[in-house]
Structure 1
């Protein structure tokens, strides 16, 4: 089996969070989705697992933090060109996200913007032209 990255996130409203991550570009994997969780794939080896708070608590004894109050991590998704950065942010805003909680960066060879999901997790949408870096 090839290696994968799976990000597990506790969410307050599973249906709304699922709609947001579909707008962000994820595809629902019904094989690992149910009433307490949604599995979304962004690439063959990159997935996000959304879990209700009650279900998430089955995997940890630690309290669930509030990503709206404290920065816990920054997640980044790459896209194919700089116009897709703006289009992805626009789709995510239409699904309930908040655009640009952090400043956009335009370095010429790299362009990024940020989108905050409904639970406060911040995703960086990045286009990079590594040939010109």
Structure 2
């Protein structure tokens, strides 16, 4: 089984830890320190939040500022539609910013938030039938 590790540059690791813990995620202390933290989102999804100098050691390109440009959107699925709203509310209460109003496509419902460093996260629920058969035509 594949796992995904999303690496994110952050200005304040402590603030980022608190933000993601407020969403209900945990921190793997074995892979965390003063300048980085391993956020466990599920058994297969992890976010490594790192101070910019640590992050820069993994790339030869300039480190982007997610507050001024979007290079990627990270989407996390929810088991129920109401979980999307709950995740959004917790994210905003923890210092995130709603990126735009929630979208309801009938078969799919989503809400977008930017974390305190500007990284764009989408929480979404999709009707199980649409997930298997595709969206209604």
Normalising to structure 2: TM-score of the pair?
0.89
Measured on the aligned residues, the alpha-carbon RMSD in Å equals: 1.3
Which residue number in structure 1 is paired with residue 106 of structure 2? 108
Instruction: Give yes or no for contact 1:85–1:127 (8 Å, CA) kept in 2.
Output: yes
TM-score (norm 1): 0.92
Kept after mapping to 2: 8 A contact 1:23/1:88: no
| Alignment partners' CA distance in 2, 1:57 and 1:71 | 18
C-alpha separation in 2, matches of 1:60 and 1:86: 35
In the alignment, which residue of structure 1 is the partner of 2:9?
10
Query: How many correspondences in the alignment?
Result: 131
Matches within 5 A, 1:27-66: 27-66=26-65
Segment of structure 1 superposing worse, 21-30 or 41-50: 21-30
The aligned residue for residue 96 of structure 2 is 97
Residue segments in structure 1 that go unaligned for 5+ positions in a row: none
- Work out whether residues 39 and 49 of structure 1, in 8 Å CA contact, stay in contact via their aligned partners in 2: yes
Counterpart in the other structure of 1:127: 125
Uncovered stretches (5+) of structure 2, i.e. residues with no partner: none
Secondary structure of 2:122's counterpart equals: strand
**CA–CA distance in structure 2, aligned partners of residues 25 and 64 of structure 1:** 28
SS of the residue 1:16 aligns to: helix
> In structure 1, what is the Cα distance between the partners aligned to 2:105 and 2:24?
24
User: Does structure 2 retain, via aligned residues, the 8 Å contact 1:29–1:39?
Assistant: yes
Note the C-alpha offset of 1:123.
0.3
